[in-house]
Amino acid sequence: MIRRRAVFFLLPFLIAPVSGSHGVQTGAPPPAPRRTLTPDDIFNLRTVRDPRVSPDGRWVAYTVSRLDRDSDRGDTDVYMIPAAGGDAIRLTTSPKGESRPRWSPDGRYLAFLSSREGEHTQVWLLDRRGGEAMRLTSYEASVSDLAWSPDSTRLALVVGDPDPDKPAAAGGEKPGAEARPKPIVIRRLQFKRDGEGYLTERRDHIYVFDVASRTSAQVTSGPYDDRSPAWSPDGRLLAFVSNRTEDPDSNDNTDIFVVEPGPGATPRRLTTSPGEDTSPVFTPDGRQVVYLAGGDPKDIWYATNAVAIVPASGGEPRVLTPTLDRNVQGPRLDPEGRHVLFLLEDAGSVHLARVPLAGGAVERVVAGDREIEAFDVGPRGENVVLESQPEYPAELFVARGGGLGRLTHENDAWLAGVALGRVERFQARSRDGTLIDGFLTRPPAAPPGRLPAILRIHGGPVSQYAWSFELEWQILAAAGYAVIAANPRGSSGRGRAFSRAIFADWGNKDFEDVMAAVDHVVGLGVADPDRLGVGGWSYGGILTNYVITKTTRFKAAVSGASEVNYLANYGTDHYQREWEAELGLPWRNTELWIRLSPFFRVEQITTPTLVMCGQEDWNVPLLNSEQLYQALRRLGRPTELVVYPGESHGFRRPSFIKDRYERYLAWYGRFLNVGQPATQGR
């Protein structure tokens, strides 16, 4: 399931139209033969994230992540590149990884987070005049976010509470003695979370750290988690996000607060809506705070949010995008304070948009078929965007003068040697007439005639496939499959009603929608109706379970990190609040809980099903996969259960990520008769 003032030099590179795809030069010699992708290509992929423009507009800092085969772990480092184009400079090399590069407003420092020393993540500084990175903080818990004060003298930090129950060494001070764990005492309503474990009374709070004196002051406290600190332009206030209701674990009601950046100050609430208000940022004059206003809490994750604004002194909020009916994220102000820029999710694309601060029409700044994953604004209004299309993973571009100028080329060398499958958009009409957005990826060198085809289903349910690079599609296409993907009802990108259409009714409308996508590709003469596979991860696995209980058309299925017996999930996953909002309490609404659970229709499954999950997944706990496997095995259906030790919902170990792709290929290849599957790693 579910749930980032110098002159700007002219760009010395090709400018591509903002509204469409990037062009291809002609007249060049024919390219050398290219190989097809394999699961090993996970080690070639470079993932670019978190662009940040320097205060003088000359540089863009960002991070690059990769998977390392030898250490069997991921690594992230900080880079910077000239905003006018040029060679990238790698700034960090720690194998522990870095994140959140942030320029000081005076341009002297680049701060970032790293766990390169000790067990906790701390703040480190790079002095732009030269020298090695130096450790700035030494908290007894991890720092998860940072924001510079306008005068560059202080940092607002989000720091976790120290663990008072950390196991002590046996025998007092004896070195090397075995640690003695203590019992975990639980008192909270929300008592567990995937990737974090059991939740105790420890919380995240706002601190202010003085860079010169190396002193720290705790600003917020209490039984609340505080996050997203943002400074006012005069440095006298901090805005932040917190749920300060009587029992924060019982709801998602976060609000925007402001507080003076010192110990003992009392936070003042700016918003009072019952939804999730997030992402505060002050206007340049400091008089107002722009934020994202959540939707109706009864809609839980099916709600759409909006860009809103509220006086910093208190008053009535005003929604700036009241008729948009699309999800938005990452608001930023332009330097003049006349517009709010934000990312806009829309029908399988993500655009950069803006709306006047005074109110008015929403304008697409960078539109077309593409996914923009992040952006930042330079001192002269230059927009640096992290953009992807099906032919390349996300890279940095500058949007200026009506075009996009390419900055980074992290994946060019790798992509030059591989053949990618062609991705096409389509729309399919579901049984009740609803139009569904879909994507078809063809094999790089497809033979004539119909192809074995795999329906892959995204997680969420509230998310979307977008017009961007999808490694999974390409790996499957390289093995000879036509890959079908769709955004069925429940997905985001089409507004609240489209998303909420599956509320308390999973596996019906969304089932019809993904089947309509399959029928469309069969109707094109591409997919072989006798050689169909299906699969997905998280909600993609959940909907896969519905698919194989409702139809026998698929000859192979992969149910990854899925839920199957919803009664078994209450109190074992971390979605109690969402379960209650959508299905009610299981002991009061038992009939609905049972009716929606695919487990109670498991005898209808005849499709050979590979079941997979991380051993420590608390988002969608392993017990679901175990129960599904046990039932299928008991019924004599072809099945396997693959459990990945130490992994939670999102895998971290590269060898397991590779293994998962290899098992996809082996399972589909076994039952869809597609040549020899890739060799599995063990």
Residue 28, pLDDT score: 54
Query: CA distances (Å), 653 to each of 43, 270, 393, 546, in order?
Result: 12, 42, 21, 29
In terms of Cα–Cα distance, which of 582, 581, 563 is closest to 573?
A: 563
Q: In angstroms, rounded to a whole number, what is the distance separating the alpha carbons of residues 669 and 273?
A: 52
Statement: residue 12 has pLDDT above 70: no
To the nearest 10°, report the CA torsion of 328, 84, 414, 441. 40
Q: Are 320 and 300 in contact (CB under 8 A)?
A: no
Query: Is a pLDDT exceeding 90 seen at residue 32?
Result: no
Is residue 218 one of the residues assigned to a domain?
Answer: no
Sequence-ordered list of residues with C-beta below 8 angstroms from that of 121, at least 6 positions apart, any chain: 113, 114, 115, 142, 143, 144
The pLDDT value given to residue 174: 54
Distance CA 105, CA 86 (A): 23
Asked if residues 333 and 355 have their Cβ atoms less than 8 Å apart, the reply is no
Q: What is the pLDDT of residue 105?
A: 97
Joined together, the tokens standing for residue 610 give: 């590979």
Domain membership of residue 590 (yes or no) is yes
Query: Which residue did the predictor score with more confidence, 606 or 165?
Result: 606
Q: How many residues does the chain have?
A: 682
What residue spans of 104-231 are helical by DSSP H?
none
Evaluate whether 510 touches 461 at the Cβ level (below 8 Å): yes
Residue 285 lies in a domain: no
Burial class (CB in 10 A: 0-12, 13-18, 19+), 183: exposed
Residues 1 and 65: their CA atoms lie apart, in Å, by 24
9 has a pLDDT exceeding 60: no
Query: Is the confidence at residue 24, as pLDDT, over 60?
Result: no
pLDDT of 175: 53
Q: What is the pLDDT of residues 541-552, one digit of tens each?
A: 999 999 999 999
Euclidean distance between CA atoms 590 and 458, whole angstroms: 28
Amino acid at 387: E
- Alpha-carbon Rg of the chain, whole angstroms? 25
| Tally of domains within the chain | 1
Residue 192 tokens read as 């567990």
Question: What's the CA gap between 395 and 410, in Å, rounded?
Answer: 7
Greatest C-alpha distance within the chain: 76
Q: Which residue has the tokens 């489209």?
A: 498
Residue 342 in any domain: the answer is: no
The 10 Å Cβ neighbour count of residue 646 is: 11
């663990």: which residue's tokens? 163
CB 360 within 8 A of CB 377: no
Mean pLDDT of the chain: 91
Q: Can you give the pLDDT at residue 19? A: 37
Cα-Cα end-to-end distance for the chain = 28
With a cut of 70, say whether residue 8 has pLDDT above it.
Answer: no
- 212 burial (CB, 10 Å; 0-12 / 13-18 / 19+) is exposed
Q: Residue for token digits 């999800």?
A: 327
Rama region for 130: left / alpha / beta (φ>0; ψ in -120 to 50; rest)? left
Beta-carbon contacts of 517 under 8 Å, excluding residues fewer than 6 positions away, are: 426, 428, 436, 438, 455, 484, 485, 486, 488
Say if 210 falls within a structural domain.
Answer: no
Q: Which pLDDT score, from 0 to 100, does residue 31 have?
A: 59
Phi, psi of 366 (to 5 degrees): -130, 115
Rounded to whole angstroms, how far apart are CA atoms 294 and 392?
33
What is the rounded CA–CA span in Å between residue 614 and residue 660?
11
Least confident of 249-253, 441-445, 589-593, 676-680: 676-680
Among residues 540, 659, 560, which one has the least CA distance to residue 613? 560
Two tokens at 578? 């969402």
Say if residues 462 and 454 touch (Cβ distance below 8 Å): no
Give the other-Cβ count within 10 Å of 428's Cβ: 22
- Given a cut of 80, whether residue 38 has pLDDT beyond it is yes
Residues 478-513: pLDDT tens digits? 999 999 999 999 999 999 999 999 999 999 999 999
Residue 176 has pLDDT above 90, yes or no: no
Residue 278 domain flag: no
Give the pLDDT mean for 236-249.
Answer: 96
| CA–CA gap between residue 203 and residue 411 (Å, rounded) | 39
Q: Which candidate, 264, 219, 262, 215, places its Cα nearest to that of 242? A: 219
* Cβ atoms < 10 Å from Cβ of 491: 27
Please check the confidence at residue 370 and state whether its pLDDT lies above 50.
yes
Structure tokens at 353: 């948009």
Q: What is the pLDDT of residue 147?
A: 98
pLDDT at 545: 98
Q: In whole angstroms, what is the distance from residue 50 CA to residue 373 CA?
A: 9
Mean pLDDT of 566-576: 94
| Amino acid found at 453 | A
DSSP three-state, residue 635:
coil
Alpha carbon distance 80, 652 (integer Å):
25
What does the pLDDT read at residue 158?
98
The CA distances from residue 364 to 19, 294, 318, 338, 350, in Å, are 9, 22, 21, 15, 10
**Alpha helix stretches (DSSP H) within 485-621:** 496-500, 509-523, 539-550, 576-583, 590-596
Angstrom distance (rounded) from CA 438 to CA 357: 35
Spatial separation of the C-alpha atoms in residues 376 and 367, rounded to whole Å: 16
Angle at 183 between CA 179 and CA 189, to 5 degrees: 135
The answer, yes or no, to whether the previous bond of 586 is cis (omega within 30 of 0) is no
Burial class (CB in 10 A: 0-12, 13-18, 19+), 652: middle
Position 385 scores a pLDDT of 97
- In a domain, residue 627? The reply is yes
Question: Which DSSP state fits 175?
Answer: T
Nearest to 536 by CA among 497, 484, 585, 597: 484
Residue 166 is classified by DSSP as P
Alpha carbons 405 and 419: distance in angstroms, whole number: 24
Task: Tell whether pTM > 0.85.
Answer: yes
| % of the chain exceeding 70 in pLDDT | 92
3-state secondary structure of 658: helix
The tens digit of pLDDT for each residue in 116-133 reads: 998 899 999 999 888 889
Determine the pLDDT at residue 14.
Answer: 29
Q: What angle in degrees, to the nearest 10, is found between the helix axes of 509-523 and 539-550?
A: 80
pLDDT over 60 at 160, yes or no:
yes
Task: Find which of 29-43, 167-181, 647-661 is predicted with most confidence, using mean pLDDT.
Answer: 647-661
Question: Once rounded to an integer, what is the mean pLDDT over residues 143-148?
Answer: 98
CATH number for 649: 3.40.50.1820
402 — pLDDT class (breaks 50, 70, 90): confident
In a domain, 682, yes or no: no
What is the Cα–Cα distance from 400 to 369, expressed in whole angstroms? 18
Q: Read off the DSSP letter of residue 178.
A: P
For residue 391 the two structure tokens come to: 């032919």
Domain ranges, residue 447: 418-672
| Residues 537, 456: Cα–Cα separation, whole Å | 9
Which ranges constitute the DSSP H helices of 524-575? 539-550
pLDDT at 596: 97
